[in-house]
Amino acid sequence: MTVAVAYAGGESSKAALRVAVEEARLRRMTLVVIHTTSRDDYETPRYAGDDSLPDLERDLRSTGVNFVIRQPISHDVADGVLAEAERVRAAVLVVGLRRRSAVGKVLLGSIAQQIVLDATMPVLAVPPAIVHGEQP
């Protein structure tokens, strides 16, 4: 069993990664960082390529938690994250949330929402307040 985290490199993903590292430490499990993209976005800057992976790996090594980074390519990002989380038998999947406008919700949908609704394992959703450092 592992702790998995959906990671896209943005602020909400970074907050989810911090929470996932702590979950992996508490559960004494390996952390699986799932950074997927659709086939259409494979060459976009948002997809972490060779330039950003060394930084991510360095940051994760400094945590002392065992980790693996997976970069599956899928037709649908949420489906790709969920398939990989199931493949690695995640005990929990951590996702970061962010605020979006009403128009953004209608036009773009929500990858995090789809993950939460379609997951077969528990999902730990990191809210925007934690993303922005407004912890209680």
Contact (Cβ atoms closer than 8 angstroms) between residue 116 and residue 123: yes
Measured distance CA(82)–CA(87) in Å, rounded: 8
Report, as an integer, the average pLDDT of 87-93: 98
Tell me which CATH code domain 22-131 carries.
Answer: 3.40.50.620
* pLDDT higher than threshold 50 for residue 130: yes
* pLDDT higher than threshold 80 for residue 27: yes
Measured distance CA(113)–CA(109) in Å, rounded: 8
* pLDDT higher than threshold 50 for residue 43: no
pLDDT digits (tens, 9 = 90+) for 106-117: 544 588 889 999
Domain spans of the chain, in order of start? 22-131
Look-up: residue for tokens 């934690």? 130
C-beta neighbour count of 114 within 10 angstroms = 17
What lies within 8 Å, CB to CB, of 86 at 6+ separation is 120, 121
The mean predicted confidence, pLDDT, of the chain is 84
pLDDT of residue 98: 79
Beta bridge partners of 90: 2
Residue in 12, 15, 23 with CA at minimum distance from that of residue 46:
12
